Amino acid sequence: MALNTERAARVMAAAAERGLSQLLVTDPLSIYYLTGVTTEPGERFFGLLMADGAAPVLFVNELFPLEHPEGCRFVSFTDADDVPALLARYIDAERVLGVDKNMPARFLVPLMESGAVAQVALGSFAVDGARAIKDAREQELMRRASAINDACMAEFAALVREGVTEREVADQLLGIYRAHGAEDHSFPPIVSFGANAANPHHTPDDTRLEEGDVVLFDVGCRLPEGYCSDMTRTFFWGKPSEESVRIYDIVRAANEAAEALVRPGVRFCDIDAAARRVIADAGYGPCFTHRLGHQIGLDEHEPGDVSATHDEPVQPGMIFSIEPGIYLAGNTGVRIEDLVLVTEDGCEVLNRFSHEPRRLDR
Amino acid sequence: MALNTERAARVMAAAAERGLSQLLVTDPLSIYYLTGVTTEPGERFFGLLMADGAAPVLFVNELFPLEHPEGCRFVSFTDADDVPALLARYIDAERVLGVDKNMPARFLVPLMESGAVAQVALGSFAVDGARAIKDAREQELMRRASAINDACMAEFAALVREGVTEREVADQLLGIYRAHGAEDHSFPPIVSFGANAANPHHTPDDTRLEEGDVVLFDVGCRLPEGYCSDMTRTFFWGKPSEESVRIYDIVRAANEAAEALVRPGVRFCDIDAAARRVIADAGYGPCFTHRLGHQIGLDEHEPGDVSATHDEPVQPGMIFSIEPGIYLAGNTGVRIEDLVLVTEDGCEVLNRFSHEPRRLDR
C-alpha cells in the first residue's frame, strides 16, 4: 500500500484550477483509488486530508486495522475521540476546505462550528474527475467485469421457469457471479416480471412469472479489485403483447442510436438527446423518465451523468452506461443497457450480450 | 399513508427545546417513521421539511413513485431540477435550519451557498430521540425480529461442518431468515472462524473451518415492517484452546454483568463500565476495543451508543445491544451479544438463545 503520487498530483492540480489547495476526501472508494487502502467505516469517520506541500494525512478509527500506506501520515483514533478537534489540528483554517460531496453533516457541521475552517466548498470534483478517466489497467478490469456480466446474463436467463418468483431468481444470482470470479453484486439486482418492469427501481418480490410477461434483469457485479459492471436486458416469457414488442424495438433503436454517437468531443447531453429523440419520435417521450446513463468504475454510479443537463464533452477513458427505457405503469416496461468505453475515435461497447429480442420459454 | 401527527409533534417539541423551529429530515428511515412512506433514493435527494405551524413538505424525485401521505404537502422533481433552489422556496431563511446528521455535503453545501438558509445546525437529534423510545407496537416487532434471530441461530449453527468455508455458511443465512418470515439481513452477516474472530468487523471469506476454531456469528434480520435484530454467539469446533475457553467465560460474565445492571436511570456509560470492568479485572482490558453497544430499531445502528462517553440515563422503551468481546490478534476472539429492552423497573433481554459454551462438532 502506498500513495499513488501520480493520481494525487492530478487531483491537486484539478483542485487548484478551481482555487482549492486543501481537500478532505471521505469517499472510501476515493481513498482506495489514491492509497490502495480500503475499509468500510460504517458510521465512523474515515478521511484523507490532502494539502499542497505536505504528505496527505489518513484518519482511521482504530477499530479498522489498516496497513499504513507509504507516503501518507497516519492518525488513528477511538470512538471516544473528538473527530472535528482532531481534524482541526491538520486543517489550515485560513484556506477554503474542499469537502467530499458525500461527507455527512454529522462531521461537516461540527467541523464548521468548531472554527477549524473558515469556509467549505464542494471539493470531490477533483478526485471524481481523476477517477472518471480510466487508465489502461482500470479499462482492463472494467472489460473483465462486463465480460463476467455477459456470461452470467446467459445463466440468469436460464433460471427463468414457469411459476418462478422474482425473488427466487434474484437469490440465485450471487452464487453464479461468484462462480465466475466476481466478489459481489455491484448493486442489489433488479429482476422484474410483467408490470413490475414499469418501475425502473423495482425490488424483486414474490411476484410469480406469468405467460406474456416481460422479464427484466438489471444486474452487475464487482470484481475483487473493486471495479463494477452494470447491464440490463429485457426478455419475453411466452407470447409478448404487441405493445411490449413495439417498445422493445424502440428502446433498442434508442440504445443503438446513442452508442453510435459516442466519440471524444460529443457532449453527454447530445448522447442523451439522441436516445430520447428516438423514443419521443415514436410517441413515448413521457414514458422515458430518467437520464440516459451514469459513469461507473469503482462505484456503480459515478458522477457526471449522461443527461440533458450535462453539457461537457466525453473524453477517452471514460466509461458510462447507455440505458434508455420505456415504462408503461401497470402494464409493462423495457430497458436495454450497455456500458461503453470512450476510445480515441469512437467507443468500445463493453457488453457483448445480444440486443435481439428473445423468448425464454423456447 | 399519513403523517403520524403524534410523532411529528414529539419531534418538533424536542427541536424547540434546543431552539430549532424548522428541520430538514433526510434519513429515509426517519421519513418512514414519520409518514409511513418509504423508498431507497440512492444518490437522489429525498427529504421532509418540518416547520412550526405548517404541514410538512415531502420532496421526492419522480423516479420513485410514492403514495402521497395525508397531512403532508408533496413536491416532486426530476433529475434536471435544481434541488437547493426548490428547497429554498419552502425554507425560512431567517431561521436556523436543523439538518439531518447524514445529509450529504452535495446537498448541504449548495444549500448554504444559495443563501436559502442563514445558519444550519445538526437537527436529527429530535427525530432520533423520538425513535429511541419504542412504543408498544414497535416493541412487539422488535421482540418478533429477535425471536426469529434466536430460531435462526440454531439453524445457522447446524450449517457448520468439517471443511466448510465462512462464505459457504454466510451465503445460506438469508434463505433461512426468509423462511422464518424476515425480509432481509439487517446488516451483512459476520461469520468468523478461528483467528478471523479477532477482527470484530471481519467479512466472511474462503477460510476453511479447522479443528479447535471458534465459530462466531454476528447476525441479524429485518422484518417486512422494517425493524431489526442483532445477536452474536461464539461457538467451538473441536476442542478449544484454553485461552478461547478462558475468554469465553470472561466475555459471558461481562455480558451478564451489564445486562443485570440495566434499568431506568442507570447511565449508558455505567453499563459500558460494568462490562469493561469484568474484562479489565481479568487482564484483557486492552483487548476489548469497542463500545459495549448501540441502540437499534428501524436501523441496525441508531444513535446514542452504550459507551464511556455517553452519560445520559437509559429510559423505558429504549432498545440496545450489549456486546462485549475479547480479541486476540492472530489467535482467537469471542463476542456475546444480546438486545435488551428497558422496562419500567429493569430490562427484558430480547434474545433467549443460551449463553452456555457449546461445541458444534458433537
Taking the mean position of all CA atoms in its chain, how far away is CA B301? 2
Neighbours of A191 (CB within 10 A): 29
Largest CA distance in chain A: 69
Report the pLDDT value the prediction gives residue A323, as an integer from 0 to 100. Answer: 98
β-pair partners for B46: B60
Nearest CA in chain B to A102: B104
Report the pLDDT value the prediction gives residue A62, as an integer from 0 to 100. Answer: 87
Angle at B343 between CA B339 and CA B346, to 5 degrees: 85
Distance (Å, whole) CA A30 – CA B109: 20
Are the CB atoms for A338 and A322 separated by under 8 Å? yes
Q: In degrees rounded to 5, what are phi and psi of residue B179?
A: -60, -25
Identify the helix (H) or strand (E) that includes residue A173.
Answer: helix A173-179
Indicate where chain B has its CATH 3.90.230.10 domain(s).
133-349
Work out the burial of residue A353: count CB atoms within 10 Å of its CB; fewer than 13 is exposed, 13-18 middle, 19 or more buried.
Answer: middle
DSSP 3-state of B352: coil
- Provide the angle, in degrees to the nearest 10, between the axes of the packed helices A242-261 and A268-281: 150
Between chains, do A100 and B105 touch, taking CB under 8 Å as contact? yes
B225 CB within 8 Å of a chain A CB = no
DSSP 3-state of B191: strand
Report the pLDDT value the prediction gives residue A259, as an integer from 0 to 100. Answer: 98
Q: Mark out the alpha helices in B45-135 (DSSP H runs).
A: 83-88, 105-113, 125-132
Of the partner residues A40, A201, A301, the one whose CB lies closest to the CB of residue B43? A301
Q: DSSP string covering B247-314, please?
A: HHHHHHHHHHHHHHH--TT-BHHHHHHHHHHHHHHTT-GGG--S-SEEE-SSSSSEEEEESTT--PBP
Of the partner residues A103, A301, A308, the one whose CB lies closest to the CB of residue B104? A103
Between chains, do A110 and B102 touch, taking CB under 8 Å as contact? no
Taking the mean position of all CA atoms in its chain, how far away is CA B12? 23
**Residues from chain A contacting residue B104 (CB–CB below 8 Å):** 101-105
Report the pLDDT value the prediction gives residue B329, as an integer from 0 to 100. Answer: 87
B206 CB within 8 Å of a chain A CB = no
- Percentages helix, strand, coil for chain B (3-state, rounded to 5) are 35, 25, 45
A102 CB within 8 Å of a chain B CB = yes
Distance (Å, whole) CA B249 – CA A119: 52
Report the pLDDT value the prediction gives residue A1, as an integer from 0 to 100. Answer: 84
Q: How many helices (H) and strands (E) does chain A have?
A: 10, 18
Burial B323-348 (b: 16+ CB within 10 A, else e): bbbbbbeeebbbbbbbbbbbeeebbe
Report the pLDDT value the prediction gives residue A40, as an integer from 0 to 100. Answer: 83
Q: What letter does residue B198 receive in the DSSP assignment?
A: G
Between chains, do B102 and A104 touch, taking CB under 8 Å as contact? yes
**Residues from chain A contacting residue B175 (CB–CB below 8 Å):** 171
Between chains, do A291 and B79 touch, taking CB under 8 Å as contact? yes
Task: List C-alpha distances in Å: A170 to A157, A175, A176, A300, A332.
Answer: 11, 10, 11, 18, 19
Of the partner residues A79, A106, A108, the one whose CB lies closest to the CB of residue B291? A79
- B97-133: per-residue pLDDT in tens? 999 999 999 999 999 988 889 899 999 999 999 999 9
CATH of domain A133-349: 3.90.230.10
Beta strands in B100-245 (DSSP E): 120-122, 184-185, 190-193, 214-219, 221-222, 231-236
Q: What is the pLDDT along chain A (362 residues), one digit of tens a residue?
A: 899 999 999 999 999 999 999 999 999 999 999 999 988 888 889 999 999 888 999 999 988 878 889 999 999 998 888 898 999 999 999 999 999 999 999 999 999 988 889 899 999 999 999 999 999 999 999 999 999 999 999 999 999 999 999 999 999 999 999 999 999 999 999 999 999 999 998 999 999 999 999 999 999 999 999 999 999 999 999 999 999 999 999 999 999 999 999 999 999 999 999 999 999 999 999 899 899 999 999 999 999 999 999 999 999 999 999 999 999 988 999 999 999 999 999 999 999 999 999 999 98
Between chains, do B79 and A201 touch, taking CB under 8 Å as contact? no
Query: Which cell is A154 given?
Result: 446467459
A106 CB within 8 Å of a chain B CB = yes
B13 CB within 8 Å of a chain A CB = no
Picking from A20, A109, A165, A311 by the largest number of B CB atoms within 10 A of its own CB, the best residue to mutate is A109
Report the pLDDT value the prediction gives residue A115, as an integer from 0 to 100. Answer: 86
Q: What letter does residue A196 receive in the DSSP assignment?
A: G
Distance (Å, whole) CA A196 – CA A237: 14
Are the CB atoms for A220 and A231 separated by under 8 Å? yes
Are the CB atoms for B287 and B328 separated by under 8 Å? yes
Distance (Å, whole) CA A317 – CA A115: 41
A121 CB within 8 Å of a chain B CB = yes
Which among A351, A157, A134, A146 is positioned nearest to A256, based on CA atoms? A351
B96 CB within 8 Å of a chain A CB = no
Establish, for the pair of chains A and B, how many residue pairs have beta carbons separated by less than 8 Å: 90
Indicate where chain B has its CATH 3.40.350.10 domain(s).
5-131
B110 CB within 8 Å of a chain A CB = yes
Distance (Å, whole) CA B124 – CA B109: 17
β-pair partners for A302: A295
Which among B132, B144, B155, B161 is positioned nearest to B298, based on CA atoms? B132
Report the pLDDT value the prediction gives residue B101, as an integer from 0 to 100. Answer: 94
Report the pLDDT value the prediction gives residue B62, as an integer from 0 to 100. Answer: 87
Report the pLDDT value the prediction gives residue B38, as an integer from 0 to 100. Answer: 86
Between chains, do A120 and B105 touch, taking CB under 8 Å as contact? yes
Distance (Å, whole) CA B194 – CA B184: 27
Look-up of cell digits 472535528: A84
Measured between CA atoms, how close is A303 to chain B, in angstroms? 10
Are the CB atoms for B302 and B295 separated by under 8 Å? yes
A309 CB within 8 Å of a chain B CB = yes
Taking the mean position of all CA atoms in its chain, how far away is CA A188? 12
Which among B251, A204, A80, A53 is positioned nearest to B259, based on CA atoms? B251
Report the pLDDT value the prediction gives residue A38, as an integer from 0 to 100. Answer: 86
Distance (Å, whole) CA B170 – CA B192: 10
Are the CB atoms for B28 and B61 separated by under 8 Å? no
**Residues from chain B contacting residue A111 (CB–CB below 8 Å):** none
Q: What is the mean pLDDT of each run of 10 residues along chain B (362 residues)?
A: 94 96 96 92 91 93 86 90 91 95 94 89 96 96 98 98 96 95 96 96 94 98 96 98 97 98 98 98 92 97 93 97 95 97 98 97 91
Q: DSSP string covering A275-326, please?
A: HHHHHHHTT-GGG--S-SEEE-SSSSSEEEEESTT--PBP-TT-EEEE--EE
Report the pLDDT value the prediction gives residue B65, as an integer from 0 to 100. Answer: 76
Between chains, do B105 and A110 touch, taking CB under 8 Å as contact? no
Measured between CA atoms, how close is A120 to chain B, in angstroms? 8
| Strand-pair category, A319-322 with A325-328 | unpaired
Measured between CA atoms, how close is B109 to chain A, in angstroms? 7
CATH of domain A5-131: 3.40.350.10
Report the pLDDT value the prediction gives residue B66, as an integer from 0 to 100. Answer: 82
Report the pLDDT value the prediction gives residue B122, as an integer from 0 to 100. Answer: 96
Contacts of A173 (CB under 8 A, 6+ apart): A152, A156, A185, A189, A191, A219
Work out the burial of residue B267: count CB atoms within 10 Å of its CB; fewer than 13 is exposed, 13-18 middle, 19 or more buried.
Answer: middle
- In sign, the C-alpha dihedral spanning A191, A193, A198, A204 is negative
Report the pLDDT value the prediction gives residue A80, as an integer from 0 to 100. Answer: 81
